[in-house]
Chain A
Amino acid sequence: GESVGLHLPTLSVQEGDNSIINCAYSNSASDYFIWYKQESGKGPQFIIDIRSNMDKRQGQRVTVLLNKTVKHLSLQIAATQPGDSAVYFCAENNHFNKFYFGSGTKLNVKP
């Protein structure tokens, strides 16, 4: 399978601060990169994706950055809230519609 890894297993931030979650990938042929959020006892939930020909995409309070030169992906969450506490996974999707997930980063938001 593909190799998608994360730099930090746990990230603690203060409520209201910005969070940055990083991810490294190995397959330069992947078409899309996706971020998922998984809350305890639930399945992963789509947050945002970015196509391989883009370097930045913004959503509501979230921004994904893609650096193909170093095969690095990051998720930025603005004004982090307690409801953002979860495990975040990056995933890559190749043109065969196969999705490979990294090991995840746990985000703890301190009130």
Chain B
Amino acid sequence: EAGVAQSPRYKIIEKRQSVAFWCNPISGHATLYWYQQILGQGPKLLIQFQNNGVVDDSQLPKDRFSAERLKGVDSTLKIQPAKLEDSAVYLCASSRTGANVLTFGAGSRLTVL
């Protein structure tokens, strides 16, 4: 089966600019996650979707981050305006409902200057 697709792989922006990341999960995976991974740290959950509904967004900085999964398949994560501390890899992962295994994409590396 095809893996989790993410784009762009790399993005460099200046602070206060905006950026959007796209994720296409594995076909049939109802649960989709966005994680933020700062260099040298483990992935930190930002938001979890079940189909097109949000299950958990308690760790999402809602003043600048937003995410949607309108049709329950693809998802977009947006940051506006970006801060220096947003420099990180943004990982998208998906899983079947109730499954214990996450499948990750390769990530989108964001550098904020």
Residues of A at the B interface (CB closer than 8 Å) are 1, 4, 31-32, 34, 41-46, 49, 89, 91, 93, 96-104
- Chain A residues in 8 Å Cβ range of B41: 103-104
0 or 1 for each of B38-72: is its CB under 8 Å from A? (1 = yes) = 00111111001000000110010000000000000
Asked if A104 contacts B106 (CB within 8 A), the reply is no
**Would you call B43 and A101 a contact (CB within 8 A)?**
yes
Contact B101 A46 (CB under 8 A): yes
B100–A49 CB distance below 8 A: yes
The 5 closest A-B pairs by CB, nearest first: A43-B104, A101-B42, A101-B43, A32-B100, A103-B42
Q: Could you tell me if A104 and B42 are in contact, using CB atoms closer than 8 angstroms?
A: yes
- Judge whether A102 and B98 touch: CB under 8 Å: no
B31 and A97 contacting across the interface, CB-CB below 8 Å: yes
Q: How far is the CB of B100 from chain A (nearest CB, A)?
A: 5
Docked pose: A63 CA to B48 CA in angstroms = 30
Complex Cα spacing A16 to B101, Å: 29
B contact residues, total (Cβ < 8 Å): 28
Are the CB atoms of B43 and A46 closer together than 8 Å? no
A1 near B59: Cβ-Cβ < 8 Å = yes
* Distance of A24 from chain B, by nearest CB (Å): 13
* Given contact pairs A44-B43, A49-B100, A93-B100, a sample of 13 additional A-B residue pairs in the complex whose CB atoms are under 8 Å apart: A1-B44, A31-B100, A32-B100, A43-B105, A43-B107, A44-B104, A91-B42, A97-B48, A97-B55, A98-B56, A101-B42, A101-B44, A103-B42
> Is the Cβ of B43 less than 8 Å from the Cβ of A34?
no
Sampled A-B contacts (6; CB under 8 Å): A41-B106, A49-B100, A49-B101, A98-B48, A103-B41, A104-B42
* A97 contact from B91, B95, B106, Cβ within 8 A: B95
A91 CA to B43 CA in the complex, in Å?
10
Tell which of B40, B93, B99, B101 touches A43, judged by Cβ atoms closer than 8 Å. B93
Of A43, A99, A103, the residue contacting B45 (CB under 8 A) is A99
